[in-house]
A and B are shown apart, each in its own frame.
Chain A
Amino acid sequence: MVERETLLGRVVPHVVLLVGVCIVAFPVYLALLASTYDAATVQNGQMSLLPGSQMLENYERIIFSGARATTREPVGTMLLNSFLMALIIALGKIAISLISAYAIVFFRFPFRMAAFWLIFVTLMLPVEVRIYPTYKIVADLGLLDTYTGLTLPLIASATATLLFRQFFMTVPEELVEASKIDGAGPVRFFKDTLLPLSITTMAALFVIQFIYGWNQYLWPLLITTRDNMQTIVIGIKKMIVTQDALTEWQLAMATAVLALLPPVLVVVLMQKLFVKGLVETEK
C-alpha cells in the first residue's frame, strides 16, 4: 500500500491468524491428548497439556476390540464401513452425474430441459425433509443394513451433474466436429476425448464427495441397526452415554481422532483439488 508499513500493521495479522489457528486446533489437540491417557486420569479431569503414556494401548484396544461398556464393535470394522460408504458414494455420484451431464449437454432429444430440471429440483429435497418415507422405501426394498441401502439413495447428485454440465459447456465444439470427422460416435468421443479432459474436475469432485460420504450421520443412523454395519461417525456417538460413569472418554476420543483423520488428511494433502471442488460445486 501507499503508507509505510508500521510494525503494528505487520504484527497484527500474524497475531490474529495465530489465535485463529490455535482456537481451531485446540479441540482436536485435546482429543488427541485424551487418547493418550488412562481412563481414570481422563475421568477425573486430571489431564495435563502434555501427552500421557497410554496411546498405543488405547488405539490398539479401540481398533481391534472396541469400547467395553457401550458399543462392542471394534472401530476397525467401523473404519472399513465408513471407507467403503465414502468410496461408493463418491465414485457413484461421479459416474452417474458424468453420464447424465453428457446426455444433457451433447445430445438433442425431446424433454432435454425437463430432464435437466428433474435433476435440478432434487437440490430442494435434502434427506432431512423426507426422512421417514425414504427410510420406509429402503426398508420395503429389504435394503436395511446393507451397503446398497447405505449408499444408493445418496448417490443421486444435482450438484455434481450441474458441475459437469458447466464444465462440458466450456469444451469447444470443434473437438466434437473433429472426432466426428475421424468417424467417432458418441461413445468413442466420450471415452477418448471427454473423459481425459474431465480428469481434474472428477478428482476435485471426488475429494468433496468423499468427505460428504464419510461424514454422513442421519442416514446411516436410520439405516444401520446391526453393530457391524455401523460407520465410525455413528459409532462414536454411541460411545458417549449420558451417565458419565459408563463413557470411556479416552477411547471415545481415540475414536474421534480416527474418525476425523481420513477426511482431514484428504483436505490437507489435496488442498488444491479440495478448494477447486468446493468453490466450483457452490457456483
Chain B
Amino acid sequence: MERRALFGGKVLPYSLLLPQFAIVVVFFYVPAVQAVWQSMLMQDAFGISTEFVWFENYTILAANPEYYRTMGTTAVFSVLVAFLSLSSGLLLAVMADKQIKGATIYKTMLIWPYAVAPAVAGVLWLFMFQPSLGMLAKALRSWGIDWNPLLNGNHAMILVVLAATWKQISYNFLFFLAGLAAIPKSVIEAAAIDGARPMRRFWTIVFPLLSPTAFFLLTVNIVYVFFDTFGIIDSVTSGGPAGNTTTMVYKVYADGKLGSDLGGSAAQSVVLMAIVIALTAVQFKFVERRVQY
C-alpha cells in the first residue's frame, strides 16, 4: 500500500473522502457513541428526569432472567441455522462439483434464494405452515401432529429456523463450490490410486482442505443469524409466542419500540456491538491466515 501513493495535493484527497466521511460520522459514529452514552442513563417512570447511572443498566440486564432466555434462544437459533444451512450447502456443492450434465443449470437453480428478502422468505414459509390454511400444516395435522406455530413456541422456532436456513443455503453452496474448485484434482487422484474410496477421500482430503472455507462461512452465518434474520422473525412470529423466538436483536428493537426502557435497550445494543466486534476480529484473523496459505 505504501508505494502506491502517487499523487500529491492538499485539498483533492480530502474532498474525495468527504462524502463518505460525512455519512460515516453522522450516521455511524455519532449514533454508536450515543448508544453507549444512553446505556448509562436512566429515566424515571414518567420520563421527566434522566439520571446518569454508570453501569446500572448493565447490572439490571445481567440480573434479568428474560435476557438470558433471549441469549439462549439466539444461541439455539444460530446453531440450528448454521448447522443445517452449512451441511446442506456442502452436500449440494459436493454433488454439483462432480462432472455431471447440467451442472450449470443446477447451480443457477440453487443460488437465487440469496436474492429473496428475509421478510419475504418468512412470509413464504408462514404461508406453507399457517395452521388453518397452509398446505404443509394440513399435511402435518393429517399425520396427527397438532401443529400450531402461533401458539407453540417450539413450532414457531422450527418455522423461523427453516425459513432462515432456506435463504442461507444458496450462499453456503456458492462458497463451498468455490472452495471445492480450488482443491487440486491431482491430490484426490493420488489418494484414489492409493485405494482410498470416495467417502474416505472426502473425509481425509477434501473436508480438511475445505475447513478454511467452512470456518469463514461459520462466522458469516452467525453474523447472518444474529442480524439479517430480523425480517424473518418480525414477519413470521414477531418474537412470539410468549417470547419464544425473540432473539437479541429483536429484543433491542422491541424494548426500544415500546419506549419504556431506552437505557436498557441501549445497553443491549452495546452488548451486541461487542459481539459483532468479536466476530469481525475472528473473521479477519482467519482471513489473514488464509492469505499466508
Instruction: Give chain A's interface residues, CB within 8 Å of chain B.
Output: 1-3, 9-10, 12-14, 16-17, 20-21, 23-28, 30-31, 34, 42-45, 47, 95-97, 99-100, 102-109, 112, 115, 118-119, 122-126, 128-134, 136-138, 152-153, 155-156, 161, 168-169, 173, 176, 180, 185-187, 189, 211, 214-215, 217-218, 221, 233-234, 236-237, 240, 242, 244, 249, 252-253, 256, 259-260, 263-264, 266-268, 271, 274-275, 278-279, 282-283
Residues of A within 8 Å of B216, CB to CB, are: 282
Residues of B within 8 Å of A256, CB to CB, are: 120, 123-124, 127
Known pairs A13-B95, A218-B230; A263 contacts B277 (CB<8 A): no
User: Which A residue's beta carbon lies closest to that of B271?
Assistant: A129
0/1 string, B73-100, CB within 8 A of A gives 1: 0000000000000001001100110101
Contact B169 A105 (CB under 8 A): no
CA of A200 to CA of B78, assembled, Å: 35
Question: Of A104, A132, A236, A268, which is within 8 A of B262 by CB?
Answer: A132
Contact B117 A28 (CB under 8 A): no
- Least CB distance from A133 to B in Å reads 4
Contact A27 B128 (CB under 8 A): yes
Known pairs A240-B126, A244-B130; A129 contacts B118 (CB<8 A): no
Instruction: Give chain B's interface residues, CB within 8 Å of chain A.
Output: 1, 3-10, 12-14, 16-17, 19-21, 23-24, 26-32, 34-35, 38, 88, 91-92, 95-96, 98, 100, 102, 106, 108-121, 123-128, 130, 132-135, 138, 150, 166, 169-171, 174-175, 178, 188-189, 192-193, 198, 216, 220, 226-227, 230-231, 234-235, 249, 252-253, 256, 262, 265-266, 269-270, 272-273, 276-277, 280, 287
Contact B272 A267 (CB under 8 A): no
CA of A124 to CA of B123, assembled, Å: 29
CA of A242 to CA of B150, assembled, Å: 9
Contact A129 B35 (CB under 8 A): yes
- Least CB distance from A67 to B in Å reads 13
Which residue of A130, A155, A185 has the most chain B CB atoms within 10 A of its CB atom? Answer: A130
Residues of B within 8 Å of A99, CB to CB, are: 16-17, 19-20
CA of A236 to CA of B188, assembled, Å: 49
Q: List 7 tightest A-B contacts by C-beta distance, closest first.
A: A108-B5, A133-B31, A215-B117, A263-B115, A217-B231, A103-B16, A133-B34
Contact A125 B28 (CB under 8 A): yes
Contact B13 A24 (CB under 8 A): no
